[in-house]
Amino acid sequence: MMLPEKKQVLVADDEANLRRVLSAILTRDGYDVHAVEDGKAALEFLREHHLDLVITDLRMPHLDGMALLREVQAMDLQLPVIMLTAHGTVDNAVEALKLGAIDYLTKPFDQTEIRNVVRKALRTRDLSQADAPIEPAALTQSSPSARYGIIGRSPKIVEVYSILDRVADSPTTVLITGESGTGKELVARALHENSSRKDKPFIKVNCAAIPKDLMESELFGHEKGAFTSAVSSKPGRFELADRGTLFLDEVGELTLEMQSKLLRVLQESEFERVGGIKTIRVNVRLVAATNRDLRREIAQGAFREDLFYRLNVVPIPLPALRERSLDIPLLIDFFLSKFNQRLKKQVTGVSPEALQRLHSYGWPGNIRELENVLERAVLFADSPIIQEENLTQEVRNFRDGKSLAPPAIDVGPVDVGADGLKEKVKAAASRIERELIVRALDQTSGNVTHAARLLKISRKGLQLKMKELGLREREDG
Ligand SMILES: Nc1ncnc2c1ncn2[C@@H]1O[C@H](COP(=O)(O)OP(=O)(O)OP(=O)(O)O)[C@@H](O)[C@H]1O
Ligand SMILES: [Mg+2]
């Protein structure tokens, strides 16, 4: 397969730190990144060079992001622009989208978010260009896989395709459920991309990431003076998503109070901004996702049953990877070509022993975990075939349906030291705790939210533990 040349990305931001972080993330994803510190330099650069994508800050000296966007539009380069806006300045985001920005990111954003937005922007561009670069085989045929960018042909995934075919272009509310890493966000985006709303915004709200006291204003907006920090009025995500799709990720994390407010909007299709009196009506297609068992949450009084039925009009349950091992070879192919491209390698396959390991592993982190394991394997492979030793410990040591090798606790002779039994047990417990946390972070590429979920503790709790144990949060994953 011919390897397409690297995509050219221009980053314009006056903050050196942000330029550095963005460059690091995107370079690692296989893009060629050029960074400049203001809009004027960006404009000069893009006049001289071929580019595939521009990511620009809104506020910059000389020429700001909005002016840069206008220039790009005027030059008619079909060049997608992603706007970076400060947290809370959503009206700028709306303005940017109206002006033709393909997407925007509110600071601070996380790595997954930036990666997804970039990937989506570039994919949109590829689809609209005749000379689209070669895509992995699975995506080139006009199969459901190609239509939705979702790999798989096992019965449970075929069922997902058929639901997508039926509901993508309807206004119906969809609830996507599945374990962590099963592709919930991918499906949410596929719904949007395959609907007549695809040229309108796809707005994602991660209900787990937004502080509880800001949630209402995040969703519904606020009027100036509604609370102390409300220095100006702002539209919420519902307004931003007007005529497009609103994706409520981790909807199970909403407080009961927010659940009631959301329910009212779903029933009446209208709401008011926080501190506002004007009733606002929007036309929004709602897609929600959760990895919680909402029926159990209902039984425990943590989730409103009436809201559940409103959201669950069309349920899309995503299978865990271990329930669709038929798809493992397809996914391996798909990820190998992706990482070959990204890492400039020429890995052609997997040895029978390695394949055996990949098949028998339990994949608690599902496709995301498989993706990470393969990225690492491609990176470490020094022959065209991935060998067992290129796989992670986790995968190699997996036996008999147990995800973690049973911790071999060697207590040694009865020697509890000067501090006695209690202290010895405490020390051992904290070693095991540390090990489990390290493994969870490893499995989730350092994503604290996901690791916390695997460990079934709160994100805050995990952060405290990490601090206690001297584990640093990874900045660049
Ligand atoms: N069927 C698939 N084909 C190709 N890639 C997939 C598929 N399913 C998931 N992925 C990839 O796996 C990763 C995880 O998917 P995604 O973020 O959609 O999962 P999620 O269910 O939202 O996870 P979480 O609950 O942890 O947020 C992404 O990189 C996604 O592109
Ligand atoms: Mg997700």
Query: Distance, CA 184 to ligand 2 centroid (Å)?
Result: 6
Query: Distance, CA 71 to ligand 1 centroid (Å)?
Result: 35
* CB neighbour list of residue 114: distance below 8 Å, 6 or more residues apart: 22, 25, 26, 105
Query: Quick one: pLDDT at residue 407?
Result: 44
Closest listed ligand to the CA of 330 = 1
Query: Quick one: pLDDT at residue 443?
Result: 79
Please state whether the predicted TM-score (pTM) of the whole model is above 0.75: no
Taking alpha carbons only, the member of 71, 68, 213, 74 closest to residue 84 is 68
Mean pLDDT, range 364-379, rounded to an integer? 95
Question: Ligand 1 site: residues with CB under 6 angstroms?
Answer: 150-152, 178, 180-186, 291, 334, 367-368, 371, 450
pLDDT digits (tens, 9 = 90+) for 143-197: 778 778 899 988 899 999 999 999 999 999 999 999 999 999 999 999 999 999 9
Band the pLDDT of 74: cuts 50, 70, 90. Answer: confident
pLDDT digits (tens, 9 = 90+) for 207-247: 998 888 889 999 999 998 888 777 788 899 999 999 999 99
* CB neighbour list of residue 452: distance below 8 Å, 6 or more residues apart: 458, 459, 461, 462
CATH placement of domain 325-396: 1.10.8.60
Query: Distance, CA 365 to ligand 1 centroid (Å)?
Result: 10
Distances (CA, A) of 415 to 213, 410, 412, 418, 431: 51, 12, 8, 9, 18
Task: Determine the Cα angle at 407 with ends 404 and 413, to 5°.
Answer: 175
pLDDT digits (tens, 9 = 90+) for 305-329: 999 999 999 999 999 999 998 899 9
Distances (CA, A) of 235 to 83, 97, 203, 221, 274: 17, 14, 13, 4, 10
Distance CA 134, CA 148 (A): 17
- 420-468 folds as Arc Repressor Mutant, subunit A (1.10.10)
Query: Quick one: pLDDT at residue 88?
Result: 60
* Residue from 368, 374, 449 whose mutation best tests the ligand 1 pocket (most atoms within 8 A of CB): 368
Residue that wins the pLDDT comparison between 41 and 146:
41
- Per CATH, 8-127 and 168-319 having the same topology is answered yes
Mean pLDDT, range 282-301, rounded to an integer? 95
Band the pLDDT of 95: cuts 50, 70, 90. Answer: confident
Amino acid at 130: A
For 168-319, the fitting CATH number among 3.60.15.10, 3.40.50.2300, 3.40.50.300, 3.30.70.260 is 3.40.50.300
Query: Quick one: pLDDT at residue 20?
Result: 93
Query: Quick one: pLDDT at residue 142?
Result: 54
Mean pLDDT rounded to a whole number for the chain: 85
Helix pair angle (90-99, 65-75), 10° resolution: 10
Domain spans, the chain: 8-127, 168-319, 325-396, 420-468
**Nearest-atom index, ligand 1, CA of 365:** 26
Distance CA 221, CA 239 (A): 8
Task: Determine the Cα angle at 426 with ends 423 and 427, to 5°.
Answer: 90
CATH placement of domain 8-127: 3.40.50.2300
* Residue from 115, 182, 363 whose mutation best tests the ligand 1 pocket (most atoms within 8 A of CB): 182
Query: Quick one: pLDDT at residue 429?
Result: 80
CB 96 within 8 A of CB 55: no
User: What are the two backbone dihedrals, phi and then psi, of residue 176, each rounded to the nearest 5 degrees?
Assistant: -100, 125
Alpha carbon nearest to ligand 1 atom 28, residue? 368
Q: Residue 87 in 3-state DSSP?
A: coil
Closest listed ligand to the CA of 184 = 1
* Residue from 367, 372, 375 whose mutation best tests the ligand 1 pocket (most atoms within 8 A of CB): 367
Question: Helix, strand, coil shares of the chain as percentages rounded to 5?
Answer: 50, 15, 40
Which residues are within 5 Å of ligand 2 (an ion), measured at CB?
A: 184-185
Beta-strand ranges (E) seen in 93-229 are 103-107, 174-177, 202-206, 221-222
Mean pLDDT, range 418-424, rounded to an integer? 76
